Structures are given as structure tokens and as C-alpha cells.
Amino acid sequence: MSSEQRFFVAPSAIENGTVRFSREQAHQMAAVLRLAAGAQVVALDNSGWEYRVKLSRVGGGEAVGSVTARSLVNTEPRTKITLYVGLIRGPKLEVVLQKCTELGVVAFVPVVSQRCVVGQADELSPSRLDRWQRILVEAAEQSGRGKLPILHPAVPFEQACDGVRGLSLLLWEGESEASLRAALRSPSRGAFSLNLFVGPEGGFTPHEAERARASGIAPVTLGPRILRAETASIAAVSAILFAQNDLG
């Protein structure tokens, strides 16, 4: 992968072969990365295109450059995973957002379930949501993604169940027979869109597992060991992408 710095920009920032970066990006280029005129960077418009850019001006709160090449990004996985992640303590959830973005998750839906132990009002404050969005952007830039994952508003568990369509799986330590491996070998294995539910600390309750079944969401197990919530998300996403030939 190229070592050039990557920056997501608004499509409107690219006009007539010129790219104008945001003030925050200009500050990062000048003060953190120590880039100067003549340096090469990559701009991404979040539609799957990337632009090689030669900087002509960096400093004074602005960064401007000229497009030297344009190409489609080929790093997005075919398998589109939407991760319905139970609200867990802030630092742990940030790890999930970061690592699963790097792996290729296309959307995140925070879920409020019975065993969530965080204070909902605090965790879903505008400043916290802004921080989560920045984590997604930085992880997508670092890992060479061509599109940013979508961060959906938080929803109650039952509402999340009602809203899913297509192949949907729920990791549950109470399931002892149906494995993730078996679910991915089912006739729906070839599906390239998948919803994955992972619970908070303490997991999902038996009632929630039955509620999921009623909505067509299949509870599955990752095996005999009990994984932390953040570990389960990363492990399951990795396993799914590997099974679908989107990893390794």
C-alpha cells in the first residue's frame, strides 16, 4: 500500500483539477506531517475514487494542490457488513469502531440493549458522536479504504431487529449448536450483504435472543470461549470476511 497520506474531502473540494483541503487537514499537513509544496498526497471523495494530488500551497490555514492522476479504489470488500454493536464503555467501543473500519465494515449501528451499562445520555452526546466519526475517518484513511463507513443513530434493540433485511446473525453465548462457521456455509453464504449483532458487556439476554429469532436473525456461537464484547466484534468480522474471500 502507498505510504502517501490519504485525506477524505467533500466532492465539492475537487474542482477543475484543483483540490482544496479543509483547515483541519491543512493544519495536520503543516504542523503534524510537516508537508510542504511539492509533496504528494491522496484525496478521496467517498464515492470510490482517489486522486493523486501534488500540493502547491501548504500553510496559513490552507492546503491546495493539483490532481495528477485519478483511479478507482480497489480495497473495498465485496461483503457489506453492517455491525449492530451494543453500547459498551467508551474506550472499548472506540476500539471496535477503529478496528472494524480497518477490516472493512460498511456501517455501524449502536444498539441499546438490556445489559448496556453505560449512561445513554452521556455516551450519545453530540461531542461523543463527533469523536466517533473522527475515529472512522482516521481509520479509513490509515487503512486505505475508498469509502467511509456510515455511523447510524443509536436505536433500541427491538427497533434494530425490526429494521434488518437479508442475512442477519446474532452472536450469543447461550447458543451451543449453531456456529458462525455453519451459518456461513448455509445456502445464504454467497450473500454479499450481512447484518451482525454483537452485544454489550454481559451479552444479550435469552429474551433478546428469542426476539431476534422472531425477526429472522439467527443466534450463532463463536465457540466455547467467552470473548469480551470488543474482541467478539473484531473476531467475527474477520472470520466473515475471511470466509467470503474478502480477507487473506
Task: Determine, yes or no, domain membership for 148.
Answer: yes
Mean pLDDT of 148-158: 95
Containing domain of residue 15, as a range? 6-72
User: Are 235 and 118 in the same domain?
Assistant: yes
Q: Domain ends where: 72, 99, 128? A: 72
User: Are 135 and 234 in the same domain?
Assistant: yes
User: Are 55 and 146 in the same domain?
Assistant: no
Could you tell me the three cell numbers for 133? 466519526
Could you tell me the three cell numbers for 41? 498526497
- Letter for the amino acid at 127? S
The domain that holds 59 is classified in CATH as 2.40.240.20
User: Are 65 and 100 in the same domain?
Assistant: no
* pLDDT one-digit tens code per residue, 29-45: 999 999 999 999 999 99
Task: Determine, yes or no, domain membership for 118.
Answer: yes
Q: Kindly report the three-state secondary structure assignment for every residue of the chain.
A: CCCCCEEECCHHHEECCEEEECHHHHHHHHHHCCCCCCCEEEEECCCCEEEEEEEEEEECCEEEEEEEEEEECCCCCCCEEEEEEECCCHHHHHHHHHHHHHHCCCEEEEEECCCCCCCHHHHCCHHHHHHHHHHHHHHHHHHCCCCCCEECCCEEHHHHHHHCCCEEEEECCCCCCCEHHHHHCCHHHHCCEEEEEECCCCCCCHHHHHHHHHCCCEEEECCCCCCCHHHHHHHHHHHHHHHCCCCC
Q: Average model confidence (pLDDT) for the chain? A: 92
Contact call for residues 25 and 138 (beta carbons, < 8 A):
no
* pLDDT one-digit tens code per residue, 4-17: 899 999 999 999 99
User: Are 50 and 89 in the same domain?
Assistant: no
- Rounded distance, CA 220 to CA 167, Å? 12
User: Are 116 and 226 in the same domain?
Assistant: yes
User: Are 103 and 155 in the same domain?
Assistant: yes
* pLDDT one-digit tens code per residue, 48-67: 999 999 999 999 999 999 99
Domain count, the chain: 2
Q: Domain ends where: 55, 72, 89? A: 72
Mean pLDDT of 208-222: 96
- Rounded distance, CA 96 to CA 171, Å? 15
**Pairing state of beta strands 218-220 and 167-171?**
parallel
User: Are 132 and 179 in the same domain?
Assistant: yes
* pLDDT one-digit tens code per residue, 178-200: 999 999 887 655 568 999 999 99
The domain that holds 91 is classified in CATH as 3.40.1280.10
1 pLDDT more than 50: no
Task: Determine, yes or no, domain membership for 186.
Answer: yes
Task: Determine, yes or no, domain membership for 221.
Answer: yes
Task: Determine, yes or no, domain membership for 179.
Answer: yes
User: Are 36 and 116 in the same domain?
Assistant: no
Task: Determine, yes or no, domain membership for 1.
Answer: no
pLDDT value at position 121?
45
Task: Determine, yes or no, domain membership for 248.
Answer: no
User: Are 113 and 226 in the same domain?
Assistant: yes
The sheet with strand 14-15 has its strands ordered as 6-8, 40-44, 49-59, 62-72, 18-21, 14-15
Q: Domain ends where: 48, 72, 96? A: 72
Task: Determine, yes or no, domain membership for 68.
Answer: yes
* pLDDT one-digit tens code per residue, 75-104: 999 999 999 999 988 899 999 999 999 999
Could you tell me the three cell numbers for 1? 500500500
User: Are 58 and 170 in the same domain?
Assistant: no
User: Are 60 and 88 in the same domain?
Assistant: no
**Pairing state of beta strands 40-44 and 18-21?**
unpaired
